Structure 1
Amino acid sequence: MNDLMRKKDLATVVAQATPLKRTMRTFDLTMLGIGAIIGTGIFVLTGKGALTAGPALSVSFLLAAICCGFAGLCYAEFASMAPVSGSAYSYAYLAFGELLAFVIGWDLILEYALQAATVSAGWSGYFTKLLQGFGINLPVELTAAYGTTPGVTTYFNLPGFVIVLVITWILSTGINQTKRMNDIMVMIKIAIIVLFIVCTVWYVNPAHWKPFSPYGWYTFQPGSTQPMGILPAASIVFFSFIGFDAVSSSAEETVNPNRTLPRGILYSLAVSTVLYIAMTLIMTGIVHYPDFAKFINAPVAGVILATGLNWLAVIVNIGALVGMTTVMLVQLYGQSRICYAMSRDGLFPPLFGEVHKKYLTPFKGTWFFGIATALAGGFININVLFEMVNIGTLSAFIIVSAGILWMRKTQPDAHRGFKAPGVPFTPLIAIVFCFVLIAGLNWETWVRFLIWSGIGIAIYFVYSRKHSALAKNKTSAKAATQTQQ
């Protein structure tokens, strides 16, 4: 059983050579993080969040940001210690051993795939509406997965399928193309959000903020099975912040990762939090929170309708498309890099670790999961799996935060380009916040999560345990010792 806890050596990991090209700098990483964070949260989840918490949704966003902030400090320290691909998977491998690392990596693959597929469905809706504005109507059967829209017969999400394949092509042809595309789209997205804020802030009616917290921190309304209040809303909008951890997946393509990775993680969280809070205060100030039920799937559009600034609707629609495109790009990027790291460690087949000679990217692995994600978004109604993304990410946050506590104790003298302040309190607070947010998820999510983790454990014992690079190195070393004797 000891082999289940075998760990990587920190010095070996740091010295491990990589064939990936290092071109990412602090600005690129910050844009990568903002690209992953700002998208679905503003353009979709603010509607459901406002109905759950009222104007206090801004507090819910702040709580989710605090959780991510404390976890982000732990990620930043790990990234400065071990600037390698794999994010939480690689950190768990260093701190707790192979089995737990595999389970976390397996869960992160699902997290990234489900989020990208979920966002592709929302992207398809905005894209279809934009085309309709130009008099172009796609066959309704090809605008959403089967059974997605009640009362409407749909079979396949064609726009979502195509955009995922386009993003996969961009990712597979090189990190330079990826970062340029992401940087441009993120700057466009931020500019459109700032334009929305500047144009709509004059329509805020402070009376709509009263009562500010109609449901308190946590309560059940009569006849409802879903909790209401600030904490349940924080569990919902936590989805908005998922993605900053993908920044650490770029470690092997980052210039001076000891400094740039922590900065990219923390800067992107800070900028995104400010924009989220500003947006939610303005939106709940323009539209009274119960009225968000009328346009729950397009809350920003509803707010614009209330102001009468119809010209702004087209611009914001484009911003929504750009915003969700960057989210999918970063999620698919992070997914391919985790698979690359797991393949290099022997836990996944070699296919996923092969680096293209020309593009210097994990080409085959990127296309494999890109096509799988495109098909999932095209055919499957994944709304029921939405919260699995949250529970997978929160589990990873808990492991990374606990890993900082363990590494500070077992390897206190290891080089750290960045040290999380306030340890042990910082990781402990992150862990507590994560468990609080997990408590806001329903029991069906737990069951699905446990089933997926169980499938991963089965794959580990059938394939990964035997093909592990650490296992092979140990066997080779033992054979060499016996030969010498």
Structure 2
Amino acid sequence: MPPNDVRLRQQLLRRKPVSAFLADSENGGDGHGSGGLRRTVGTFQLTMIGVGATIGTGIFFTLSTAVPEAGPAVILSFVIGAITAALTALCYAELTSAVPVSGSSYSYAYATLGELAAWLVGCCLLLEYAVSGAAIAVSWGQYLNDLTQRLFGFTMPAAISAPPGAGGYVNLPGVVLVVLCCLVLMRGSKESALVNTIMVLIKLGVLVLFVVIGVTGFHSGNLHPFAPLGFAGISAAASSVFFSFIGLDAVSTAGEEVKNPQKTLPRAVIGALLVVTAFYCVVAFVGVGAQKWTLFNGQDAGLSAILQRVTGQTWPGAILSAGAVISIVSVTLVVIYGQTRILYSMGRDGMLPPVFRKLNPRSGVPVGNTLIVGAFIAVLAAFVPLDWLANLTSMGTLVAFAVVSVGVIVLRVREPLLKRGFKVPGYPVVPALSVVFCGYLIWNLPADTFVLFACWVALALAVYFGYSRKHSRLGRQEAEPSLPESVLAE
């Protein structure tokens, strides 16, 4: 093999040691002694970040698209999604305890699979966080319209409030929501976590209200036929509703801002999963029991419509719509937060320009990074159709989840003595099953999603070979090991 080919392969497969990640988390890795992100978040607030990023990404509107695919058996679709999320959550719990840094699966891939794999995973996370943030922001206008209609008899014109491709041209509420979230995030991680916790508790209360009222309209006849479209329908819906579980890994993006991370991170991952799964399964069961499955198709603000149908009154639906408005704010807040921390880690490693790793000295947050992410998400929310966003998000997330599961196995083999605050039970079966389930859900995504994803990967590779490979801190350290860290970080 020619020397240049060997050199290229070494560059693509070079790994960042776990010890280097831990050192960066303490000093910021910027070479200027400014320190890193500030550890201000506790276990409860971190769990609420996971719940906040997840509940609201689908349950308030996914039933209107998933139930027509599977019928009442959509409950099983949620179970399949929950099993996949559970298998992956256990893998995340181990890696967060072993590598308690920001960057989520990007950092884990860099420590286990190499630089090119880490870069591609980072780009998949861009689909997961930025694109899902846009998808949620798009849906905010629908619930905002539903709420204002119920309270004031007023709605915004569809041209500026409906999703692009569904009657809308520019989704103005989505843009406004992204701007508001960015303003909160720029104040600091402690303040952002507090705001998120309050909003999460409100939306959990609203979902409890839905269950309590919805169960009064429950009719067992609505569950028949249980699976009118067979197992194929259940599988297709499972790939769709998995979108509702996206966000659990947001916990891992806060690795450098939590207290006692080796214990706090795995507890928060597992705690968030339990809360989310319980709420999803109960809400789905009550929803399909309170309304005939054929009525879900095209039903905007679906949970509100179910409550109005059950009670014959508007006030329960108004409360639920208000809860959905608040819920979607918290989701958007957390996914923007997670995206900025992933890009912060990539910028610190030299994979992205320095603006992504620069911290504001007063708030300790990456302000420039936040503004760039906010602008990108706002543009997507304003102009891109919702179904494109949802499927691309699922693809990016499932790929990242599979990489995390593989990473657990690789790190066990390469660094068996590494201190771990949590270990995956049933290793290596659980990580292997996680990869299988992720692959199964990917297989059931629409063909056009694969085409869009391939285009995204091609763009990611072009950026890597054009910029990231040349500016990688790891590569510069290999090329010029005698240079001090402060020079390499410039």
Q: What TM-score comes out, normalization by structure 2 length?
A: 0.92
2:142–2:301 Cα contact (<8 Å) kept? no
Structure 1: unaligned runs, 5 residues or longer: 219-227, 481-485
**Structure 1 residue 439: Cα displacement:** 1.1
CA distance in 1, matches of 2:482, 2:303: 63
What is aligned with 2:176? 162
| 2:222 maps to which of 178, 186, 208 | 208
2:128–2:393 Cα contact (<8 Å) kept? yes
2:313 maps to 1:306: no
CA distance in 1, matches of 2:289, 2:169: 39
What is aligned with 2:5? none
Residue 225 of structure 2: SS of its match in structure 1?
coil
What is aligned with 2:33? none
**Structure 1 residue 366: Cα displacement:** 0.6
CA-to-aligned-CA distance 1:4-46 (integer Å, 9 cap, x gap): 1110111222233232111111101111111111114211111
Q: What TM-score comes out, normalization by structure 1 length?
A: 0.93
What residue identity is the alignment partner of 1:9?
A: P
CA distance in 1, matches of 2:115, 2:399: 16
User: Cα–Cα, structure 1 residues 60 and 80, in superposed 2: closer, same or farther, change >3 Å?
Assistant: same
Q: Deviation above 6 Å: which 4+ runs of structure 1? A: none
CA-to-aligned-CA distance 1:203-249 (integer Å, 9 cap, x gap): 1111211222222312xxxxxxxxx2x21111010000001111100
What residue identity is the alignment partner of 2:162?
A: A
2:346 maps to 1:329: no
User: Cα–Cα, structure 1 residues 145 and 192, in superposed 2: closer, same or farther, change >3 Å?
Assistant: closer
User: Cα–Cα, structure 1 residues 27 and 109, in superposed 2: closer, same or farther, change >3 Å?
Assistant: same
Residue 122 of structure 2: SS of its match in structure 1?
helix
What is aligned with 2:353? 349
**Structure 1 residue 450: Cα displacement:** 1.1
What is aligned with 1:183? 197
| 2:399 maps to which of 395, 407, 411 | 395
CA distance in 2, matches of 1:137, 1:446: 36
What is aligned with 1:221? none
What is aligned with 1:148? 166
2:211 maps to 1:197: yes
What is the 5 A alignment of 1:131-142? 131-132=148-149, 133-142=151-160
1:106–1:456 Cα contact (<8 Å) kept? yes
CA distance in 2, matches of 1:411, 1:296: 51
What is aligned with 2:32? none
What is aligned with 2:284? 280
1:61–1:276 Cα contact (<8 Å) kept? yes
User: Cα–Cα, structure 1 residues 207 and 381, in superposed 2: closer, same or farther, change >3 Å?
Assistant: closer
| 1:471 maps to which of 454, 470, 475 | 475
User: Cα–Cα, structure 1 residues 204 and 70, in superposed 2: closer, same or farther, change >3 Å?
Assistant: same
1:385–1:445 Cα contact (<8 Å) kept? no
1:262–1:418 Cα contact (<8 Å) kept? yes
User: Cα–Cα, structure 1 residues 47 and 138, in superposed 2: closer, same or farther, change >3 Å?
Assistant: closer
What residue identity is the alignment partner of 1:26?
A: T
**Structure 1 residue 333: Cα displacement:** 0.7
CA distance in 1, matches of 2:302, 2:218: 15
**Structure 1 residue 139: Cα displacement:** 4.2
**Structure 1 residue 471: Cα displacement:** 1.0
CA-to-aligned-CA distance 1:370-402 (integer Å, 9 cap, x gap): 012112212333433420110110000111101
What is the 5 A alignment of 1:62-461? 62-132=79-149, 133-144=151-162, 146-149=164-167, 154-218=168-232, 228=233, 230-293=234-297, 295-307=298-310, 308-461=312-465
Residue 255 of structure 2: SS of its match in structure 1?
helix
Q: Identity of aligned pairs, percent?
A: 40
User: Cα–Cα, structure 1 residues 213 and 140, in superposed 2: closer, same or farther, change >3 Å?
Assistant: closer
Residue 42 of structure 1: SS of its match in structure 2?
coil
2:30 maps to 1:12: no
2:91–2:408 Cα contact (<8 Å) kept? yes
Would you say how many aligned residue pairs link Structure 1 and Structure 2? 465
Supply the RMSD in Å over aligned alpha carbons: 1.5
**Structure 1 residue 147: Cα displacement:** 3.7
1:144–1:378 Cα contact (<8 Å) kept? no
